A and B are shown apart, each in its own frame.
Chain A
């Protein structure tokens, strides 16, 4: 059963009431959007199913991840059996419809699950997020039935995971400038080029890779391919030595005349950029969840310490400078969480959610770095050493402002949306 943490923690307490969940599943054939009608607003409390999910994820994170996270970080160790356990719980196919072997839950559930898992271990969070949002989601959304059978269904149990190859050494934010090429040689495609910064690069057994079939068409020449791993012509670069999320592997995917069967094209030729952008929109909700988990963990660590650390004749939690820090941290967490829930709910209801997802990811990631920073400050010297998890949260938080769209890109996405809305008036 869940062991009580050595640090104790502040549980966010949502008082639960009973509610009638009218749940209409709208199947678009390729991706299930379930229309949720809650009799009480999620601003007040989460639906029962989501609370049960939160409990499972929290108990798992506290019981299985929290005390091992430091070890995974220090050793750069991929927690294979924990990921398998998460698969057994249904976390590695959270949004996949039940008919493909998934759990069939909505994006709100995904956001909650990501936060709780990441609160225990940010590495487990990113592995789960990259797999669910970046590998499973585009295939579940854009693939043929056969492709789903081959590339989704076997990848839901936590044993087989996937990855997403968009960024390159020459372009991250500038995704439209992809220079990895896919040459149509009749019976197959030949991939050439390098993908960089690929999460789950080492452990994944398949990847969604973006390559251009027509450089002159710029971003409209990019197509998406499902690449099995290992495969001839694909080699992995060295494992990056990262500041944080050190248990997850990050490496280059190097393609040298890599042969990909024709039937591995995902969606239509030239659709790749669109697939990537749509995928990243959903991925932002997951990363927002991860950032919230890191922020919450940092906050829990700080408030617990402040309640126990004695200085100036009392626990430092009595001091105003500490109190204002705690208030600022909690405010940002609460705000980012509400944005994340809103983005998820908009997506679940089939509404445009791009701007909200960008706001959520931006808010949550900047919240994570803020809270981790303040957490170290509250811990003082103890925050700087590995005896306490604060320094790990600080290192884990940093990447959330960079991957799946830098904070700068998020601002541009938001502004783009605002301008469109303004010009439509």
Chain B
């Protein structure tokens, strides 16, 4: 049984960049700032490519929603081993309105159109930390979901997924088709080898608009304010453990 896997990858501000709040306090500075693929999405792509190498998947399709630059993100996915890409074009000025629900609708529509049997996305994006797309995509498709995956195995028509949950690890079985979200320890993404970068140049990226998929970007959320986290204060030393406990209780920490 050979699956087609759809992988969502988001272009986000690079993890190493020092984030600066915009003067209008409605967002962060993105102009001229280094962007790269969401690290959890790299893990998702890696897992999909590994499924192909194990001959469990027959094709890996990388999807990204965003402005023209999203194609770089897709090209990175292709260089890692994805077979083709789909760029859902959203103009830069509309990017601020893009919500996980929109992306979920887009991914759900594409999963149906492309006849994908497995959708893998990163568990959350490092810019908004929503952790919602996988879950909503599954709900829209009425597919089972296996989120925070740290291990993925195929057993007959099902997936056995180990999830990282607060209490530890949970292993579940989900029937295909399914949606999976990748967690940190699922795998270590490969470096795109130079030959694969060269091969990626010839791979196709289809372009479309959200309206082509019947999705409109009506806002459900409004950003009220974006502020820096409070500046870190100096610590204080205490004499003994009892004083420590008292101080922690007094400040409401425990």
Contacts and interface: CB of A to CB of B under 8 A. Distances in A.
A30 interface: no
Given A18-B71, A52-B79, A105 B198 contact: yes
A89 B76 contact: no
A18 B72 contact: yes
Contact of B14 (A11, A23, A56, A103): A11
B68 A52 contact: no
B65 interface: no
A interface, how many residues as a size bin?
A: 20 to 34
B68 to A, nearest CB: 5
Interface in A395-425: none
A417 B70 CA distance: 45
A51 interface: yes
Interface in B169-227: 188-189, 191-195, 197-198, 200-201
Interface string A107-135: 00100000000000000000000000000
B59 interface: no
B42 to A, nearest CB: 7
Interface stretch (B32-40, B102-110, B157-165, B236-244): B32-40
Interface in A53-98: 53, 55-56, 59-60, 88-91, 94, 98
Given A4-B16, A16-B69, A52 B189 contact: no
B12 to A, nearest CB: 14
B193 A90 contact: yes
Interface in B39-56: 39, 42
B91 to A, nearest CB: 14
A17 B69 CA distance: 6
Given A16-B69, A17-B68, A90 B201 contact: no
A257 interface: no
A40 interface: no
A15 interface: yes
Contact of B34 (A11, A49, A89, A98): A11
Contacts of A89: 191, 193-194
A18 B67 CA distance: 10
Interface string A31-63: 000000000000000001101110110011000
Interface in B1-50: 14-17, 32-36, 39, 42
A105 B17 CA distance: 30
Contact of B72 (A48, A53, A94): A48
Contacts of B193: 56, 88-90
Nearest to A105: B194
Contact size class for B?
20 to 34
B76 A18 contact: no
Interface string A344-374: 0000000000000000000000000000000
A56 B189 CA distance: 11
Nearest to A23: B201
B31 to A, nearest CB: 8
Contacts of A98: 195, 198
B123 interface: no
Given A1-B39, A21-B201, A48 B194 contact: no
A13 interface: yes
Given A11-B14, A52-B200, A90 B195 contact: yes
B84 interface: no
A56 B32 contact: no
A293 interface: no
A53 B68 CA distance: 20
Nearest to B87: A18
A270 interface: no
A406 B105 CA distance: 62
Contacts of B32: 13, 15
A51 B72 contact: yes
Contacts of A60: 191
Given A48-B75, A55-B76, 19 more contacts: A4-B16, A11-B17, A13-B32, A13-B34, A15-B32, A16-B35, A18-B68, A48-B72, A49-B201, A52-B76, A52-B200, A53-B194, A55-B192, A56-B191, A56-B192, A60-B191, A89-B194, A98-B195, A109-B194
15 contacts: A4-B16, A8-B16, A9-B16, A11-B17, A18-B71, A48-B72, A48-B75, A52-B200, A53-B197, A55-B76, A55-B192, A56-B191, A56-B197, A60-B191, A103-B195
The 4 closest A-B pairs by CB, nearest first: A90-B194, A13-B34, A103-B194, A52-B197
